Copies of this chain bind each other. A is one copy, B any other.
Amino acid sequence: MPITTCVFDAYGTLFDVNAAAAQAADDPDFPRLADLWPAVARDWRRKQLEYTWLRAVADRHCDFWQVTQDGLDWALAAQGLDDPALRARLLALYRQLPTYAEVPAMLAALKARGLTTAILSNGSPDMLNAAVASAGIAPQLDAILSVETVGVFKPHARVYDLVGAQFGCAKDEVLFVSSNGWDAAGAAGYGFRTIWVNRAGDPPDRLYADPHHTLGNLVSIPDLL
């Protein structure tokens, strides 16, 4: 079955989640962040994801804005950075994360080929709408699908079900793209065609399914179709 629908994870895939801490580190108001921002960015992301999985396992859902704050609070505490102004600044930056450089042209190329495009994300609708508007990529997206519709985080199958519910397409018409190895594995196990974008050169995750393709960035995706 040819691919009709390209679905992208948002955070880490289209949007650079490390940019918030990197940008705040350039602000002279937060001098301690100059050295500590890589650790803050790493722990923030790690705890944010851990909390999504733990809440899904324990059936204790809350929205992604809450776990984003919870993960940041852990990360700041780990570095001894108890600064409400810094916390507020990092959260504000997280709502307007930049895309990776190749994203606008890549999405435009998919639309020019007549493909359906969408985001499927753990993010809450207001976070996603803010990020998409800030990046100016709304015209290239046919839908922004949030886990809030089903009340559980990835990689639960109910999340991946949102694609077929939205577009009426078969699983094997969908190309799902994520920079998160576990999300690519989840989507591959669900039945989507899957690309893992491995920007960091990490080893592949050892899970229950493997992505169909691995790329270093998003540039060549239109050429695969």
Closest to A46 in B: B46
- A57 with B57: in contact, given A73-B206, A182-B50 (CB under 8 Å)? yes
Q: Which listed residue (B50, B57, B153, B189) contacts A153, Cβ 8 A? A: B57
A55 interface hit (Cβ, 8 Å): yes
Output the least CB separation between A195 and chain B (Å).
19
Whether A78 contacts B207 by the Cβ 8 Å rule is no
Q: Is A203 positioned at the interface, with any CB of B under 8 Å from its CB? A: yes
Interface of A is mostly: helix
Oligomer: number of copies? 2
The answer to whether the Cβ of A98 comes within 8 Å of any Cβ in the partner chain is no
Interface size grouping (class) on chain A:
20 to 34
A100 within 8 A of B: no
In the assembled complex, A205 has its CB within 8 A of some CB on chain B: yes
Is B58 in contact with A186, judged by CB distance below 8 angstroms? yes
Residues of B within 8 A of A154 (CB): 57
Check A57 against B60 for contact (C-beta < 8 Å): no
Which residues does A use to contact B, with CB under 8 Å? 47, 50-51, 53-60, 62, 70-71, 73-74, 77-78, 152-157, 182, 185-186, 189, 202-203, 205-208
